[in-house]
Structure 1
C-alpha cells in the first residue's frame, strides 16, 4: 500500500490550497479513484477529501438560462432535476445510460469530469501507457485495441 496524507479541508478555498501540492488528488465518492489506487495504477501523495463540502452539492438555475452544477452533485440527482431534464434532455439520457443505478447514486459530476481513461492498458501497471507514465509508450498501439476509440497518439 502506498502511503499518503489525508486532508479534510473545512472550505472550498482550503481544498483548492490543499490540492495544489504535487501528487494531490481530490476524493469525493471515490468510485474511480479508489479502484485505481487499489490496482496500484495511481499513487497520490495526498488525498483531499471534499465529500463533506455542501456548497459543492448545489444545482443553480440562473435567470439567463445558465445552470451552475456543483462538483459534488450526484449524477442521479442531476438526472432527476426537473428543470435540468427539461432543458438538457440529451445530458440526462447520457447520465441515465452511463452506469448502474448504484453508481449514479454515488458518482459525482466532478468525478466524471476528472475520471481517467478507461483503457485496459492504463489499468495494467505492467503495460506501457503514456497517460499513466509519460514516455512509457503505448501498448494499445500494437496490442488488442479493437474496442478502443483511438483518435491519435504520440510517442
Structure 2
C-alpha cells in the first residue's frame, strides 16, 4: 500500500508534487522529477579479458572514464566513470557508474545490452541529486565508426 501510494505521488518530468502519507496522517516530503539528457562519448574504454583464449567471455571486465555532453552534443558538461561485468557472451553486461556534473553526481546500476537499449536504476547521488532515485535510459546513437556515443536520459526523483 505504501509503495503504491508513493508511486502515485510521482508525476511527469519537472513537475512538483505534494502528497500526504495516508498511513500515519503526516505529510510526506515533496518530490521533484527532473529529466537530464546527456550524450556520452565512449572515448576511453578498456576490456580486460578473463579468459586469454577468448575475446568475449563471461567475467570479462569493461572499465571506462568518458566525457559527457549536453543534449545537443555541443558542450561538455561533465564526465563519467564506471565498470561492467560480462554476464552473457554477445548479449549483456551488468554495470555500475557515476556521472559527474557541475551540481553533483548521479550513480546508476543495471544492465547494458549489446544490441538493445537499456534501463538502469538510479542508486543515489550527491549535491543537487542527494537522495536521488529514478531510472536512466541508455540509447544507442547512430554515428560513423569508429566513434561510439550513447544517449543517457536520467529521470531523477529528488526531495523538493
TM range (shorter): under 0.3
TM-score, with normalisation over the residues of structure 1?
Answer: 0.24
Between structures 1 and 2, the one with greater helix share? 1
- TM normalised by structure 2 equals 0.23
Q: Which has the higher strand share?
A: 2
